[in-house]
């Protein structure tokens, strides 16, 4: 595995024939050495803390989980406050299309990390993956943080990988944050 | 239960308003360049008022009594949403200067859900990304609803307002003064929404410029009118005649003995004229929408026809789907979409097949039960329709979506979608910068893939069974709607070069 240079990344992003795409790229300055800055999207999934006494994976089905969490959307430039110890699901503003020879890791930009924000815990992005990444925002700091939709809060570090075949299973293309699929786990069925 | 429902309704209604605001914003940026709908600014302003007012007044909404799930669904799906918006309207009226009501050009932009939406259970309403697409629905403009509601609104309006203006004029004032927007929850993630909304936007233009007056037929088909009048006049009415004793005789009367023929003629003509005006409006708006959006609008209407049924024979307010499609097909042919100059063979071929299919269908059933519609059909088809085609073509020359634009703009976007990439921007080698796709081109590309390239899209996402294919269709719609949204944001970013 090796990290791509900034020039190589830009060249690939500009090539319309390449399956690698990060759109819309509002500024080319988002592209850095081996990484691309990602913006906070406009859709969120919030927890409804007052509805359920506890979350129990054994007793929850696909529809119940949607009552536990609620979807909300804002406009570009609007703000949302994340309080200490709060979890918020969001997505990247950019749509990612990963080619078969690249994989990535999502990281919190250090300037946000240093005030206690973590944007992703499931950080690996597979080759051939397409969609807007779901971000698990959590505030581990001690003061509320105001986040602006469209601001650059994360980073996608890109690495060259060996050519990976596409799987034969149905591949959804999410365009916003996704609910937990815990109820699909075989062990709970 | 009430609290839970109110919360849910708030989400749904605000979400609808929000979605439409976004849509209006998207079109707004594109329209001035293409022509007609700079008047969207009005809609946008009204929507802001609605939103603001709605948020403030939500607590005042009547609590919902139904606890039956089915009633709850229907309630949320139609009455509450529309009712709530009317409620806002009702509350707003007293605050407006009555003079404004007649002077501000406002429109009613309708798109309300019929109760026919076949939601099987509540989960469909709760999911933002519902995978199913098999619902029956229709979009309705509701001028008439407002007309009927005016009486109930009267109590909230200053009395002086009604003293000065006759009822009909005040109705018109209200109709021309607000944008009421409602559409099925399920449509918020459907490609039909932005496409058919162009039709409703067309109503704005038609209503403001009163275009239909120009294309109304000078006179009705007099021969057919007379035939119908005679037929009605000679209708036999059974009457009982008391005879002597217990005998009761029956004798035959004709309607002409009860009502004079002139009165029957007047009723027939009035009804035909009312139907004619409404049909002409629909045709004018269809043609405007077709010129604005191109084949995308035709496909969206075809899709809608597929849902409501090809055999739908029309109503007093709308001509039959077949006739509307035929009129649109004529226009597409005139725009050059069936000519060999139009490079894309697939879409040309599809249109030709559809043309053949449509030519074999009766646009209106030639039977007695559709006598009024037949008179209108024969009155319109001779002179009015050709005049309408020409008139709308002349008016839309500057923004008409021609085959050249389709070849140049839509097909590159199709190739992006087929690779599963969000169609928002592309590197322009000559200008050395990223070029953002136009919203109307994105919608057209969406319809192209949906109608012609769906199998390759299924292959892309490995959708093998029916459930996966339904999901894939929804994925395509999501991609298109997200692309429209992102293109809008990107353009705004380029203009302002910052987060607003």
Distance of CA B431 to the CA centre of its chain: 39
B116, B139 in Cβ contact below 8 A? no
Write out chain A residues lying below 8 Å of B485, CB-based. 42
- Evaluate the omega torsion of the peptide bond into residue A24 and state whether it is cis, within 30 degrees of 0: yes
Taking only residues 57 to 96 of chain A, the set having a beta carbon closer than 8 angstroms to any beta carbon of chain B reads 63, 66-67, 70-71, 73, 75-77, 93, 95
Nearest CA in chain A to B437: A24
* pLDDT tens, residue by residue, B25-60: 544 443 333 222 223 333 444 444 445 444 443 333
B448, B414 in Cβ contact below 8 A? yes
Nearest CA in chain A to B418: A19
Give the C-alpha distances (Å, rounded to integers) separating B352 from B296, B329, B356.
16, 9, 6
Give the gap in angstroms from C-alpha B485 to the nearest C-alpha of chain A: 10
Nearest residue, CB atoms, B419 vs list A19, A67, A148: A19
Structure tokens at B121: 């259970």
* pLDDT tens, residue by residue, B79-130: 333 333 333 333 333 333 332 222 222 222 222 222 112 212 212 222 111 2
Query: Is A151 part of the contact surface with chain B (CB cutoff 8 Å)?
Result: yes
The domain limits of chain A are 6-161+174-182
Structure tokens at B329: 């097909």
Q: What is the DSSP string of B276-334?
A: HHHHHHHHHHHHHHHHHHTHHHHHHHHHHHHHH-TT----SSS--HHHHHHHHHHHHHH
DSSP state, B96? S
Phi, psi of A156 (to 5 degrees): -110, 110
Give the gap in angstroms from C-alpha A50 to the nearest C-alpha of chain B: 12
Write out chain B residues lying below 8 Å of A25, CB-based. 425, 434
What CATH number was assigned to the domain covering residues A6-161+174-182? 2.70.40.10
Beta bridge partners of residue A36, listed in sequence order: A31, A156
Write out chain B residues lying below 8 Å of A150, CB-based. 489, 499
Q: Residue B427: helix, strand or coil by DSSP?
A: strand
- Strand A152-160 relative to strand B236-242: parallel, antiparallel, unpaired? unpaired
Q: Which residues contact A33 (CB under 8 A, 6 or more apart)?
A: A3, A5, A6
Write out chain A residues lying below 8 Å of B487, CB-based. 24
- ipTM of this complex: 0.92
- Reported as a pLDDT band with limits 50, 70 and 90, residue A105 is very high
Q: Residue B253: helix, strand or coil by DSSP?
A: strand
This prediction's pTM? 0.74
* pLDDT tens, residue by residue, B277-306: 989 999 998 998 899 889 999 998 888 777
Q: How far apart are CA B2 and CA B64, in angstroms?
A: 6
Is A63 close to B492, i.e. CB distance below 8 A? no
Q: How far apart are CA B28 and CA B39, in angstroms?
A: 9
- Reported as a pLDDT band with limits 50, 70 and 90, residue A121 is confident
Q: What is the DSSP string of B421-479?
A: ---SEEEETTTTEEEEPPHHHHHHHHHHHHHHSHHHHHHHTT--SHHHHHHHHHHHHHH
Structure tokens at B275: 């139907």
Is B489 close to A24, i.e. CB distance below 8 A? yes
Query: Is A53 part of the contact surface with chain B (CB cutoff 8 Å)?
Result: no
Q: Roughly how many angstroms between the first and final C-alpha of chain B, as a whole number?
A: 39
Write out chain A residues lying below 8 Å of B44, CB-based. none
Q: How far apart are CA B120 and CA A63, in angstroms?
A: 14
- Reported as a pLDDT band with limits 50, 70 and 90, residue B456 is very high
Nearest CA in chain B to A62: B123
């Amino acid at each position: 595995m090796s990290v791509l240079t900034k020039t190589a990344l830009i060249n690939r992003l500009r090539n319309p024939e390449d399956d690698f795409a990060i759109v819309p790229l509002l500024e080319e300055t988002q592209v850095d050495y081996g990484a691309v800055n990602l913006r906070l999207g406009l859709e969120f999934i919030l927890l409804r803390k007052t509805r359920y006494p506890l979350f129990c994976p054994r007793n929850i089905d696909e529809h119940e989980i949607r009552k536990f969490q609620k979807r909300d959307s804002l406009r570009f430039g609007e703000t949302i406050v994340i309080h200490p110890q709060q979890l918020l699901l969001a997505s990247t503003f950019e749509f990612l299309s990963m080619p078969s020879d690249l994989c990535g890791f999502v990281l919190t930009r250090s300037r946000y990390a240093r005030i206690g924000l973590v944007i992703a815990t499931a950080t690996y992005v597979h080759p051939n993956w397409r969609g807007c990444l779901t971000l698990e925002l959590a505030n581990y700091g001690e003061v509320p943080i105001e986040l602006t939709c469209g601001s650059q809060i994360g980073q996608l570090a890109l690495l060259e990988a060996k050519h990976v075949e596409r799987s034969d299973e149905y591949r959804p293309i999410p365009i916003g944050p996704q609910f937990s699929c815990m109820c699909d786990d075989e062990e709970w069925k | 239960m009430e609290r839970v429902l109110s919360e849910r309704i708030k989400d749904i209604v605000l979400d609808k308003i929000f979605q439409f605001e976004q849509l209006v914003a998207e079109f707004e940026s594109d329209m001035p360049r293409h022509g007609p709908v700079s008047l969207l600014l009005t809609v946008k302003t009204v929507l802001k008022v609605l939103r603001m007012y709605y948020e403030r007044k939500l607590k005042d909404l009547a609590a919902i009594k139904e606890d039956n799930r089915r009633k709850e669904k229907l309630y949320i799906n139609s009455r509450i949403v529309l009712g709530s918006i009317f409620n806002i309207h009702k509350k707003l009226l007293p605050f407006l200067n009555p003079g404004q009501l007649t002077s501000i050009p406002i429109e009613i932009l309708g798109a309300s859900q019929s109760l026919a939406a076949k939601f099987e259970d509540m989960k469909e309403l709760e999911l933002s990304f519902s995978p199913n697409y098999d619902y029956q629905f229709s979009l309705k403009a509701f001028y008439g609803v407002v007309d009927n509601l005016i009486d109930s609104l009267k109590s909230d309006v200053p009395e002086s307002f009604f003293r000065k203006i006759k009822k009909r004029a005040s109705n018109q004032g209200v109709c021309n003064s607000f944008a009421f927007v409602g559409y099925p929850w399920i449509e918020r993630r459907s490609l039909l929404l932005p496409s058919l909304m162009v039709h409703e936007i067309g109503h704005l233009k038609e209503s403001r410029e009163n275009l239909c007056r120009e294309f109304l037929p000078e006179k009705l088909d007099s021969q057919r009118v007379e035939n119908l009048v005679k037929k009605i006049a000679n209708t036999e009415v059974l009457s009982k005649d008391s005879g002597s004793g217990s005998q009761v005789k029956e004798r035959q009367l004709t309607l002409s003995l009860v009502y004079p023929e002139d009165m029957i003629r007047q009723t027939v003509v009035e009804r035909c004229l009312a139907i004619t005006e409404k049909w002409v409006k629909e045709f004018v708006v269809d043609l405007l929408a077709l010129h604005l959006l191109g084949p995308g609008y035709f496909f969206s209407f075809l899709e809608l026809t597929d849902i409501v049924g090809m055999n739908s024979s029309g109503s007093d307010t709308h001509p039959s789907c077949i006739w509307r499609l035929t009129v649109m097909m004529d226009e597409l042919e005139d725009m050059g979409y069936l000519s060999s100059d139009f490079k894309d063979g697939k879409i040309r071929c599809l249109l030709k097949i559809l043309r053949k299919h449509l030519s074999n269908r009766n646009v209106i059933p030639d039977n007695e039960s559709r006598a009024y519609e037949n008179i209108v059909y024969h009155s319109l088809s001779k002179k009015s329709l050709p005049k309408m085609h020409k008139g709308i073509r002349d008016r839309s020359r500057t923004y008409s979506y021609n085959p050249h634009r389709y070849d140049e703009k839509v097909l590159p976007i199709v190739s992006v979608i087929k690779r599963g990439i969000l169609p928002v921007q592309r590197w322009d080698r000559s200008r050395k910068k990223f070029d953002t796709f136009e919203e109307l081109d994105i919608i057209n590309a969406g319809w192209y893939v949906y109608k012609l390239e769906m199998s390759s899209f299924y292959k892309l996402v490995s959708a093998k069974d029916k459930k996966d294919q339904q999901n894939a269709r929804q994925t395509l719609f999501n991609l298109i709607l997200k692309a429209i949204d992102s293109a809008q944001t990107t353009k705004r970013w380029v203009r302002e070069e910052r987060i607003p």
